Chain A
Amino acid sequence: MRYRVNHPQVIDEIVDGEAIIINLADGSYYSLDSVGSEVWTMVEQSRSVDQIVSVLSGRYDASEEIIRGAVEDLLARLAVEELVAPENGQPSPARACPPHLPTTERRPFQVPRFEKFTDMQDLILLDPVHEVGSRGWPHGTGRYEDN
Protein backbone atom coordinates (compact mmCIF):
# COMPACT_ATOMS: atom_id res chain seq x y z
CA MET A 1 0.00 0.00 0.00
CA ARG A 2 1.30 3.42 -0.85
CA TYR A 3 0.01 6.93 -1.33
CA ARG A 4 0.78 9.75 -3.69
CA VAL A 5 0.59 13.47 -3.11
CA ASN A 6 -2.28 15.10 -4.96
CA HIS A 7 -0.17 17.30 -7.13
CA PRO A 8 -0.73 19.76 -8.70
CA GLN A 9 -3.67 20.90 -6.60
CA VAL A 10 -1.48 20.35 -3.56
CA ILE A 11 1.79 22.23 -3.20
CA ASP A 12 4.24 21.97 -0.35
CA GLU A 13 7.58 23.05 1.01
CA ILE A 14 9.56 21.91 4.02
CA VAL A 15 11.59 24.43 5.99
CA ASP A 16 13.55 23.53 9.09
CA GLY A 17 11.72 20.24 9.34
CA GLU A 18 8.24 21.74 9.18
CA ALA A 19 6.07 21.11 6.16
CA ILE A 20 3.71 23.76 4.86
CA ILE A 21 1.11 22.24 2.58
CA ILE A 22 -1.41 24.22 0.57
CA ASN A 23 -4.50 22.82 -1.08
CA LEU A 24 -5.11 25.18 -3.98
CA ALA A 25 -8.51 23.69 -4.62
CA ASP A 26 -10.25 24.76 -1.44
CA GLY A 27 -8.03 27.35 0.25
CA SER A 28 -6.95 25.14 3.13
CA TYR A 29 -3.40 24.95 4.30
CA TYR A 30 -1.63 22.73 6.76
CA SER A 31 1.49 22.34 8.79
CA LEU A 32 3.22 19.13 9.74
CA ASP A 33 5.84 18.82 12.44
CA SER A 34 9.16 17.10 11.91
CA VAL A 35 7.91 13.50 12.14
CA GLY A 36 4.96 14.32 9.93
CA SER A 37 7.30 15.99 7.48
CA GLU A 38 9.40 12.85 7.34
CA VAL A 39 6.29 10.84 6.48
CA TRP A 40 5.30 13.43 3.88
CA THR A 41 8.73 13.36 2.29
CA MET A 42 8.61 9.58 2.02
CA VAL A 43 5.16 9.72 0.43
CA GLU A 44 6.66 12.11 -2.13
CA GLN A 45 9.37 9.53 -2.71
CA SER A 46 6.68 6.91 -3.48
CA ARG A 47 7.63 4.81 -0.48
CA SER A 48 5.07 2.30 0.69
CA VAL A 49 3.52 2.42 4.12
CA ASP A 50 5.66 -0.56 5.11
CA GLN A 51 8.78 1.23 3.97
CA ILE A 52 7.83 4.40 5.85
CA VAL A 53 7.24 2.41 9.02
CA SER A 54 10.52 0.62 8.60
CA VAL A 55 12.48 3.84 8.12
CA LEU A 56 10.89 5.52 11.12
CA SER A 57 11.41 2.40 13.24
CA GLY A 58 15.10 2.74 12.54
CA ARG A 59 15.14 6.36 13.65
CA TYR A 60 12.81 6.46 16.64
CA ASP A 61 12.62 4.68 19.93
CA ALA A 62 9.16 3.15 19.70
CA SER A 63 7.68 -0.17 18.73
CA GLU A 64 6.88 -0.77 15.09
CA GLU A 65 3.26 -1.23 16.10
CA ILE A 66 3.05 2.25 17.62
CA ILE A 67 4.81 3.82 14.67
CA ARG A 68 2.62 2.00 12.17
CA GLY A 69 -0.52 3.16 13.97
CA ALA A 70 0.66 6.77 13.93
CA VAL A 71 1.70 6.65 10.28
CA GLU A 72 -1.54 5.03 9.13
CA ASP A 73 -3.57 7.51 11.16
CA LEU A 74 -1.70 10.44 9.66
CA LEU A 75 -2.04 9.13 6.12
CA ALA A 76 -5.74 8.55 6.64
CA ARG A 77 -6.16 12.16 7.78
CA LEU A 78 -4.14 13.44 4.86
CA ALA A 79 -6.32 11.37 2.54
CA VAL A 80 -9.53 12.75 4.06
CA GLU A 81 -8.17 16.22 3.36
CA GLU A 82 -7.44 15.12 -0.23
CA LEU A 83 -3.78 15.96 0.18
CA VAL A 84 -2.78 12.41 -0.65
CA ALA A 85 -4.56 9.54 -2.35
CA PRO A 86 -3.98 5.79 -2.11
CA GLU A 87 -2.38 4.13 -5.06
CA ASN A 88 -3.83 0.68 -4.74
CA GLY A 89 -2.25 -1.93 -6.92
CA GLN A 90 0.79 0.20 -7.64
CA PRO A 91 3.87 -1.61 -6.39
CA SER A 92 6.37 0.59 -4.64
CA PRO A 93 9.69 0.92 -6.31
CA ALA A 94 12.35 -1.07 -4.53
CA ARG A 95 14.17 1.27 -2.22
CA ALA A 96 16.84 0.50 0.23
CA CYS A 97 15.92 1.59 3.71
CA PRO A 98 18.63 3.32 5.67
CA PRO A 99 20.16 1.11 8.36
CA HIS A 100 18.46 1.29 11.71
CA LEU A 101 20.22 3.46 14.22
CA PRO A 102 21.56 1.77 17.33
CA THR A 103 18.90 1.76 20.01
CA THR A 104 20.81 4.28 22.08
CA GLU A 105 20.82 6.78 19.22
CA ARG A 106 17.15 6.62 18.39
CA ARG A 107 15.08 9.65 19.20
CA PRO A 108 11.90 9.57 21.25
CA PHE A 109 8.91 9.11 19.01
CA GLN A 110 6.08 11.60 19.03
CA VAL A 111 2.83 11.17 17.17
CA PRO A 112 2.98 13.47 14.14
CA ARG A 113 1.30 16.81 14.72
CA PHE A 114 -0.98 17.90 11.92
CA GLU A 115 -2.67 21.29 11.88
CA LYS A 116 -5.26 22.56 9.45
CA PHE A 117 -5.98 26.23 8.74
CA THR A 118 -9.02 27.46 6.88
CA ASP A 119 -8.69 31.21 7.27
CA MET A 120 -7.89 31.65 3.57
CA GLN A 121 -11.01 29.94 2.31
CA ASP A 122 -12.94 33.19 2.22
CA LEU A 123 -10.52 34.44 -0.41
CA ILE A 124 -11.37 31.53 -2.64
CA LEU A 125 -15.07 32.25 -2.24
CA LEU A 126 -14.61 35.95 -2.93
CA ASP A 127 -12.20 35.49 -5.81
CA PRO A 128 -13.03 32.22 -7.50
CA VAL A 129 -10.50 31.26 -10.12
CA HIS A 130 -11.50 29.53 -13.31
CA GLU A 131 -9.02 28.15 -15.72
CA VAL A 132 -9.63 27.79 -19.39
CA GLY A 133 -9.57 24.37 -20.94
CA SER A 134 -9.36 23.13 -24.47
CA ARG A 135 -12.88 24.30 -25.28
CA GLY A 136 -11.88 27.90 -24.89
CA TRP A 137 -13.27 30.06 -22.15
CA PRO A 138 -14.27 28.11 -19.11
CA HIS A 139 -17.33 25.99 -18.82
CA GLY A 140 -16.81 24.78 -15.29
CA THR A 141 -16.37 26.28 -11.89
CA GLY A 142 -13.64 25.87 -9.37
CA ARG A 143 -9.94 26.41 -9.58
CA TYR A 144 -9.30 23.45 -11.80
CA GLU A 145 -11.37 22.43 -14.70
CA ASP A 146 -12.02 18.77 -15.29
CA ASN A 147 -10.50 17.74 -18.55
Chain B
Amino acid sequence: MRTTELQPVRAAYPGLSDVGPTYLSASRSGPADAQCVRIGGHLIQIRFATPGLLPCIMPAFAHLGVDSQAPPELVVHVWDSASTGASAPPMPDVGLDTTVGAFYFFEADSVRGVFQPGLQALTVVDFGADHAWYFVENPAALPYWERAAPIRQILHWWMATRGHQQVHGGAVGSPDGGVLLVGKPGSGKSTTALISLTTELRYAGDDYSMVSLLPRPLVHSLYSSGKVHPENLPRLPHITPALWNAGELATEKGVVFVDQHFPDRMIESFPLRAIVLPTITGKPETRVVETSRGASLAALAPSTVFQLHTAGADALRYMARLVREVPSYVLELGTNVTDVPGVLLQLLDDLRRAQE
Protein backbone atom coordinates (compact mmCIF):
# COMPACT_ATOMS: atom_id res chain seq x y z
CA MET B 1 0.00 0.00 0.00
CA ARG B 2 1.33 3.42 -0.87
CA THR B 3 1.07 5.77 2.00
CA THR B 4 2.49 9.02 3.31
CA GLU B 5 1.92 8.05 6.90
CA LEU B 6 5.25 8.47 8.54
CA GLN B 7 6.30 5.96 11.10
CA PRO B 8 8.13 7.00 14.28
CA VAL B 9 11.76 6.75 13.35
CA ARG B 10 13.49 8.56 16.17
CA ALA B 11 14.84 5.33 17.54
CA ALA B 12 15.64 4.08 14.09
CA TYR B 13 18.11 6.92 13.56
CA PRO B 14 20.68 6.38 16.26
CA GLY B 15 22.29 9.75 15.79
CA LEU B 16 19.35 12.03 16.38
CA SER B 17 20.03 12.50 20.06
CA ASP B 18 23.64 13.28 19.22
CA VAL B 19 22.86 16.28 17.06
CA GLY B 20 22.80 18.81 19.88
CA PRO B 21 25.91 17.50 21.64
CA THR B 22 27.76 17.44 18.33
CA TYR B 23 27.03 21.13 17.90
CA LEU B 24 28.26 21.88 21.41
CA SER B 25 31.42 19.96 20.75
CA ALA B 26 32.05 21.92 17.57
CA SER B 27 31.44 25.22 19.36
CA ARG B 28 34.45 24.56 21.60
CA SER B 29 36.76 24.80 18.60
CA GLY B 30 36.47 28.53 18.10
CA PRO B 31 34.69 31.75 18.96
CA ALA B 32 30.97 31.29 18.81
CA ASP B 33 28.69 33.95 17.45
CA ALA B 34 24.98 34.63 17.65
CA GLN B 35 22.90 36.80 15.38
CA CYS B 36 19.26 37.72 15.78
CA VAL B 37 16.82 38.31 12.96
CA ARG B 38 13.16 39.20 13.09
CA ILE B 39 11.03 37.52 10.45
CA GLY B 40 7.32 38.14 10.30
CA GLY B 41 7.50 39.57 13.79
CA HIS B 42 9.24 36.52 15.25
CA LEU B 43 12.64 36.82 16.87
CA ILE B 44 15.00 34.09 15.71
CA GLN B 45 18.50 33.62 17.01
CA ILE B 46 21.07 31.95 14.78
CA ARG B 47 23.95 30.55 16.79
CA PHE B 48 27.16 29.81 14.95
CA ALA B 49 29.52 27.31 16.56
CA THR B 50 32.31 29.14 14.76
CA PRO B 51 32.26 31.92 12.18
CA GLY B 52 32.70 29.39 9.38
CA LEU B 53 29.14 29.57 8.11
CA LEU B 54 28.51 33.24 8.89
CA PRO B 55 29.28 34.48 5.36
CA CYS B 56 27.15 31.71 3.89
CA ILE B 57 24.04 32.56 5.86
CA MET B 58 23.90 36.09 7.18
CA PRO B 59 24.16 38.12 3.93
CA ALA B 60 20.72 36.88 2.96
CA PHE B 61 19.30 37.99 6.34
CA ALA B 62 21.21 41.25 6.72
CA HIS B 63 18.09 43.38 6.26
CA LEU B 64 16.28 41.52 9.04
CA GLY B 65 19.00 41.70 11.65
CA VAL B 66 18.08 43.11 15.07
CA ASP B 67 20.00 43.78 18.24
CA SER B 68 17.77 42.24 20.85
CA GLN B 69 18.24 40.82 24.30
CA ALA B 70 14.74 39.37 24.34
CA PRO B 71 14.45 35.60 24.44
CA PRO B 72 14.23 34.26 20.91
CA GLU B 73 11.23 32.25 19.81
CA LEU B 74 13.43 29.94 17.78
CA VAL B 75 17.11 29.12 18.16
CA VAL B 76 18.94 27.77 15.13
CA HIS B 77 22.30 26.11 15.76
CA VAL B 78 24.64 26.19 12.79
CA TRP B 79 27.96 24.51 12.30
CA ASP B 80 30.24 22.68 9.91
CA SER B 81 33.15 20.31 10.01
CA ALA B 82 35.58 22.07 7.72
CA SER B 83 36.04 25.17 9.88
CA THR B 84 35.68 23.48 13.25
CA GLY B 85 37.50 20.24 12.70
CA ALA B 86 34.68 18.67 14.65
CA SER B 87 33.09 15.41 13.72
CA ALA B 88 29.89 15.51 11.76
CA PRO B 89 26.73 14.40 13.49
CA PRO B 90 25.87 10.84 12.58
CA MET B 91 24.73 10.78 8.99
CA PRO B 92 22.79 7.99 7.37
CA ASP B 93 24.49 5.95 4.73
CA VAL B 94 21.71 6.32 2.22
CA GLY B 95 23.76 5.29 -0.75
CA LEU B 96 20.83 5.42 -3.10
CA ASP B 97 20.42 8.86 -4.46
CA THR B 98 23.18 11.39 -4.10
CA THR B 99 21.99 13.86 -6.71
CA VAL B 100 22.55 17.36 -5.50
CA GLY B 101 18.91 17.93 -4.72
CA ALA B 102 18.11 14.57 -3.15
CA PHE B 103 16.20 15.04 0.03
CA TYR B 104 15.65 12.48 2.77
CA PHE B 105 12.92 13.42 5.19
CA PHE B 106 12.09 12.01 8.57
CA GLU B 107 9.57 12.86 11.24
CA ALA B 108 9.14 11.54 14.73
CA ASP B 109 6.96 13.01 17.42
CA SER B 110 7.81 16.70 17.50
CA VAL B 111 11.01 16.37 15.50
CA ARG B 112 11.48 16.65 11.78
CA GLY B 113 14.67 16.31 9.86
CA VAL B 114 16.19 16.31 6.44
CA PHE B 115 19.38 14.86 5.10
CA GLN B 116 20.66 16.13 1.76
CA PRO B 117 23.48 13.85 0.69
CA GLY B 118 24.36 16.02 -2.29
CA LEU B 119 25.21 18.87 0.08
CA GLN B 120 26.18 16.67 3.04
CA ALA B 121 23.74 18.78 4.98
CA LEU B 122 21.58 17.79 7.94
CA THR B 123 18.62 19.84 9.15
CA VAL B 124 16.70 19.02 12.32
CA VAL B 125 13.86 20.94 13.93
CA ASP B 126 12.55 20.15 17.40
CA PHE B 127 9.17 21.83 17.52
CA GLY B 128 8.68 21.02 21.17
CA ALA B 129 11.79 22.92 22.19
CA ASP B 130 11.78 25.50 19.37
CA HIS B 131 15.35 24.61 18.55
CA ALA B 132 16.78 23.72 15.17
CA TRP B 133 20.12 22.49 13.90
CA TYR B 134 21.75 22.94 10.54
CA PHE B 135 24.99 21.19 9.72
CA VAL B 136 27.00 21.15 6.52
CA GLU B 137 30.25 19.34 5.97
CA ASN B 138 32.02 22.13 4.14
CA PRO B 139 30.77 25.69 3.77
CA ALA B 140 32.92 26.19 0.68
CA ALA B 141 30.90 23.51 -1.08
CA LEU B 142 27.55 25.17 -0.48
CA PRO B 143 25.99 26.04 -3.83
CA TYR B 144 24.93 29.56 -4.64
CA TRP B 145 21.24 28.80 -4.27
CA GLU B 146 21.73 27.67 -0.67
CA ARG B 147 23.56 30.88 0.13
CA ALA B 148 20.77 32.87 -1.50
CA ALA B 149 18.08 31.14 0.58
CA PRO B 150 19.72 29.58 3.64
CA ILE B 151 17.97 27.44 6.27
CA ARG B 152 14.89 27.55 4.09
CA GLN B 153 13.53 24.25 5.30
CA ILE B 154 13.76 25.30 8.94
CA LEU B 155 11.90 28.52 8.25
CA HIS B 156 9.32 26.76 6.09
CA TRP B 157 8.48 24.28 8.83
CA TRP B 158 8.77 26.47 11.89
CA MET B 159 6.97 29.50 10.50
CA ALA B 160 4.03 27.27 9.61
CA THR B 161 3.61 26.59 13.32
CA ARG B 162 3.21 30.34 13.79
CA GLY B 163 0.52 30.70 11.15
CA HIS B 164 2.71 31.71 8.24
CA GLN B 165 3.22 30.07 4.88
CA GLN B 166 6.40 30.24 2.88
CA VAL B 167 5.68 30.51 -0.82
CA HIS B 168 7.64 30.35 -4.02
CA GLY B 169 7.31 33.94 -5.08
CA GLY B 170 8.94 37.32 -5.07
CA ALA B 171 7.46 40.46 -3.64
CA VAL B 172 7.76 44.20 -4.15
CA GLY B 173 5.78 47.05 -2.71
CA SER B 174 5.77 49.79 -0.13
CA PRO B 175 4.61 50.10 3.46
CA ASP B 176 1.23 50.94 1.99
CA GLY B 177 0.93 47.69 0.08
CA GLY B 178 2.51 45.52 -2.55
CA VAL B 179 2.26 42.50 -4.77
CA LEU B 180 3.32 38.90 -4.61
CA LEU B 181 5.01 37.76 -7.83
CA VAL B 182 4.26 34.12 -8.56
CA GLY B 183 4.87 31.61 -11.29
CA LYS B 184 7.09 28.81 -12.35
CA PRO B 185 10.84 29.31 -12.73
CA GLY B 186 11.57 31.44 -15.78
CA SER B 187 8.27 33.30 -15.75
CA GLY B 188 9.90 36.65 -14.99
CA LYS B 189 9.56 36.93 -11.21
CA SER B 190 13.20 37.87 -10.61
CA THR B 191 13.37 40.30 -13.50
CA THR B 192 10.22 42.02 -12.28
CA ALA B 193 11.41 42.18 -8.70
CA LEU B 194 14.92 43.38 -9.50
CA ILE B 195 13.95 45.98 -12.09
CA SER B 196 11.75 47.47 -9.38
CA LEU B 197 14.90 48.49 -7.51
CA THR B 198 15.26 51.34 -9.99
CA THR B 199 12.08 52.95 -8.70
CA GLU B 200 10.34 53.79 -5.44
CA LEU B 201 9.11 50.21 -5.16
CA ARG B 202 10.88 48.34 -2.40
CA TYR B 203 12.16 44.80 -2.50
CA ALA B 204 11.11 41.88 -0.31
CA GLY B 205 12.56 39.04 -2.37
CA ASP B 206 12.54 37.44 -5.79
CA ASP B 207 12.11 33.75 -5.16
CA TYR B 208 10.82 32.92 -1.68
CA SER B 209 8.58 35.01 0.50
CA MET B 210 6.42 34.40 3.50
CA VAL B 211 2.76 35.27 3.73
CA SER B 212 0.26 35.46 6.54
CA LEU B 213 -3.50 35.75 6.44
CA LEU B 214 -4.49 37.27 9.75
CA PRO B 215 -5.49 39.89 10.57
CA ARG B 216 -5.14 40.67 6.87
CA PRO B 217 -2.95 39.30 4.09
CA LEU B 218 0.64 40.33 4.60
CA VAL B 219 3.89 39.59 2.83
CA HIS B 220 7.07 39.18 4.86
CA SER B 221 10.54 39.29 3.42
CA LEU B 222 12.77 36.30 4.03
CA TYR B 223 15.89 36.94 1.99
CA SER B 224 17.68 39.96 0.63
CA SER B 225 19.01 37.93 -2.25
CA GLY B 226 18.09 37.96 -5.91
CA LYS B 227 19.07 35.52 -8.61
CA VAL B 228 19.40 36.40 -12.26
CA HIS B 229 19.96 34.17 -15.23
CA PRO B 230 23.05 35.57 -16.96
CA GLU B 231 21.20 36.11 -20.22
CA ASN B 232 18.87 38.54 -18.42
CA LEU B 233 21.65 40.68 -16.98
CA PRO B 234 21.71 43.11 -19.93
CA ARG B 235 18.16 44.06 -18.97
CA LEU B 236 19.25 44.75 -15.41
CA PRO B 237 22.39 46.87 -15.74
CA HIS B 238 22.08 48.11 -12.15
CA ILE B 239 22.49 44.53 -10.93
CA THR B 240 25.61 43.54 -12.84
CA PRO B 241 28.09 45.59 -10.75
CA ALA B 242 26.52 44.23 -7.56
CA LEU B 243 26.82 40.53 -8.32
CA TRP B 244 28.30 38.42 -5.57
CA ASN B 245 29.45 35.67 -7.94
CA ALA B 246 30.32 37.61 -11.07
CA GLY B 247 33.13 35.21 -11.90
CA GLU B 248 30.92 32.14 -11.87
CA LEU B 249 28.28 33.03 -14.40
CA ALA B 250 29.28 30.27 -16.79
CA THR B 251 27.74 27.76 -14.43
CA GLU B 252 25.66 29.76 -11.97
CA LYS B 253 22.89 32.29 -11.90
CA GLY B 254 24.08 35.69 -10.82
CA VAL B 255 23.37 36.35 -7.15
CA VAL B 256 22.96 39.79 -5.66
CA PHE B 257 22.45 40.60 -2.00
CA VAL B 258 20.22 43.58 -2.39
CA ASP B 259 20.71 44.93 1.11
CA GLN B 260 24.45 45.33 0.52
CA HIS B 261 24.09 47.44 -2.60
CA PHE B 262 20.63 48.99 -2.34
CA PRO B 263 20.25 49.24 1.42
CA ASP B 264 17.34 51.64 1.37
CA ARG B 265 15.34 49.49 -1.03
CA MET B 266 14.57 46.52 1.20
CA ILE B 267 11.24 46.18 2.99
CA GLU B 268 10.45 43.74 5.78
CA SER B 269 6.72 43.39 5.24
CA PHE B 270 3.71 45.04 3.66
CA PRO B 271 -0.01 44.47 3.16
CA LEU B 272 -0.70 42.28 0.18
CA ARG B 273 -2.79 44.10 -2.40
CA ALA B 274 -2.66 41.60 -5.26
CA ILE B 275 -1.10 38.48 -6.61
CA VAL B 276 0.69 39.09 -9.89
CA LEU B 277 1.64 36.45 -12.43
CA PRO B 278 4.48 37.74 -14.63
CA THR B 279 4.56 36.25 -18.10
CA ILE B 280 6.92 36.95 -20.96
CA THR B 281 5.01 37.92 -24.08
CA GLY B 282 7.63 39.21 -26.50
CA LYS B 283 5.33 42.14 -27.21
CA PRO B 284 6.47 45.71 -26.67
CA GLU B 285 3.76 46.74 -24.23
CA THR B 286 3.70 45.89 -20.54
CA ARG B 287 0.25 45.69 -18.99
CA VAL B 288 -1.76 43.96 -16.29
CA VAL B 289 -4.87 41.91 -17.01
CA GLU B 290 -7.08 40.58 -14.24
CA THR B 291 -7.11 36.81 -14.06
CA SER B 292 -9.07 34.15 -12.24
CA ARG B 293 -8.31 32.94 -8.76
CA GLY B 294 -7.94 29.47 -10.20
CA ALA B 295 -5.21 30.65 -12.55
CA SER B 296 -3.55 32.41 -9.64
CA LEU B 297 -3.59 29.30 -7.49
CA ALA B 298 -2.24 27.24 -10.39
CA ALA B 299 0.66 29.67 -10.70
CA LEU B 300 1.36 29.85 -6.98
CA ALA B 301 0.69 26.45 -5.52
CA PRO B 302 2.40 23.78 -7.63
CA SER B 303 5.74 25.54 -7.73
CA THR B 304 5.52 26.20 -4.00
CA VAL B 305 4.57 22.64 -3.18
CA PHE B 306 7.34 21.16 -5.31
CA GLN B 307 10.03 23.62 -4.24
CA LEU B 308 9.29 23.56 -0.54
CA HIS B 309 9.65 19.95 0.33
CA THR B 310 6.94 18.32 2.41
CA ALA B 311 4.50 21.13 1.66
CA GLY B 312 1.20 19.40 0.97
CA ALA B 313 -2.51 19.68 1.55
CA ASP B 314 -2.23 22.20 4.38
CA ALA B 315 -0.02 24.49 2.32
CA LEU B 316 -2.36 24.22 -0.66
CA ARG B 317 -5.33 25.08 1.55
CA TYR B 318 -3.46 28.10 2.90
CA MET B 319 -2.61 29.33 -0.58
CA ALA B 320 -6.20 28.85 -1.72
CA ARG B 321 -7.32 31.06 1.16
CA LEU B 322 -4.76 33.64 0.11
CA VAL B 323 -5.92 33.83 -3.52
CA ARG B 324 -9.49 34.25 -2.30
CA GLU B 325 -8.47 37.29 -0.27
CA VAL B 326 -6.89 39.50 -2.92
CA PRO B 327 -7.31 40.00 -6.67
CA SER B 328 -4.95 38.40 -9.17
CA TYR B 329 -3.47 39.77 -12.35
CA VAL B 330 -1.34 38.55 -15.20
CA LEU B 331 1.56 40.94 -15.75
CA GLU B 332 2.33 40.79 -19.43
CA LEU B 333 6.00 41.71 -19.53
CA GLY B 334 6.88 43.90 -22.46
CA THR B 335 10.20 43.89 -24.21
CA ASN B 336 11.24 47.07 -22.42
CA VAL B 337 11.40 45.94 -18.82
CA THR B 338 11.92 49.48 -17.56
CA ASP B 339 8.19 49.94 -18.11
CA VAL B 340 7.36 47.23 -15.60
CA PRO B 341 7.68 49.15 -12.31
CA GLY B 342 5.47 51.92 -13.58
CA VAL B 343 2.74 49.46 -14.47
CA LEU B 344 2.98 47.90 -11.02
CA LEU B 345 2.91 51.27 -9.31
CA GLN B 346 -0.19 52.22 -11.27
CA LEU B 347 -1.83 48.92 -10.34
CA LEU B 348 -1.04 49.45 -6.68
CA ASP B 349 -2.37 52.98 -6.80
CA ASP B 350 -5.59 51.81 -8.45
CA LEU B 351 -6.00 49.03 -5.89
CA ARG B 352 -5.31 51.30 -2.97
CA ARG B 353 -8.01 53.68 -4.15
CA ALA B 354 -10.44 50.84 -4.80
CA GLN B 355 -9.78 49.08 -1.50
CA GLU B 356 -10.01 52.18 0.68
Binding site for B on A (CB under 8 A): 7-9, 11-20, 22, 24, 27, 29, 31, 117, 119-120, 123-124, 126-139, 141, 144, 146-147
Contact = CB atoms under 8 A, between A and B. Distances in A.
Contacts of B6: 131-133
B92 A9 contact: no
A144 B3 contact: yes
Contact of B99 (A18, A123, A126): A126
Interface in B1-42: 1-9, 12-13
A128 B184 contact: no
Interface centre among B9, B104, B184, B294 (most CB of A within 10 A): B294
Interface in B174-201: 184
Nearest to B302: A29
Given A15-B294, A29-B298, A132 B106 contact: yes
Given A12-B316, A13-B297, A137 B13 contact: yes
Interface string B89-103: 000111011011111
Given A24-B312, A31-B298, A146-B2, A141 B96 contact: yes
Given A119-B184, A127-B309, A22 B301 contact: yes
A136 B12 contact: yes
Interface of B: 1-9, 12-13, 92-94, 96-97, 99-107, 115, 184, 292-295, 297-298, 301-303, 305-307, 309-310, 312-313, 316-317, 319-320, 323-324
A70 B283 CA distance: 39
Interface centre among A7, A9, A24, A131 (most CB of B within 10 A): A131
B12 A20 contact: no
B320 A134 contact: no
Given A128-B97, A128-B103, A137 B316 contact: no
B289 to A, nearest CB: 17
A129 B184 CA distance: 19
A29 to B, nearest CB: 4
Contacts of B12: 132, 134-137
B302 A130 contact: no
A8 B4 contact: yes
B126 to A, nearest CB: 17
17 contacts: A11-B305, A13-B316, A15-B293, A15-B294, A15-B323, A18-B293, A20-B316, A123-B306, A126-B100, A127-B102, A127-B103, A128-B97, A130-B104, A130-B105, A131-B6, A137-B104, A141-B97
Contact of A9 (B4, B293, B302, B320): B4
A83 to B, nearest CB: 14
Contact of B96 (A15, A19, A138): A138
A127 B9 contact: no
A22 B297 contact: no
B4 A131 contact: yes
Given A22-B305, A120-B303, A129 B3 contact: no
Interface centre among A11, A27, A135, A141 (most CB of B within 10 A): A11
Contacts of A127: 101-103, 306-307, 309
A132 B11 CA distance: 12
B302 A15 contact: no
B294 A8 contact: no
A34 B82 CA distance: 56
A13 B302 contact: no
A12 B101 CA distance: 26
Contacts of B302: 20, 22, 29, 117, 120
Contacts of B97: 128, 130, 141
B7 A147 contact: yes
B102 A120 contact: no
A138 B105 CA distance: 9
B188 to A, nearest CB: 14
A20 B294 contact: yes
Contacts of A12: 316
Nearest to B3: A147
A12 B92 CA distance: 34
Contacts of A27: 306
Given A124-B306, A130-B104, A137-B115, A18 B292 contact: yes
Contacts of B99: 126, 128
B119 to A, nearest CB: 11
B118 to A, nearest CB: 9
Nearest to B323: A15
A13 B102 contact: no
Nearest 7 A/B pairs, CB to CB: A18-B294, A136-B12, A127-B101, A134-B7, A137-B92, A132-B106, A13-B320
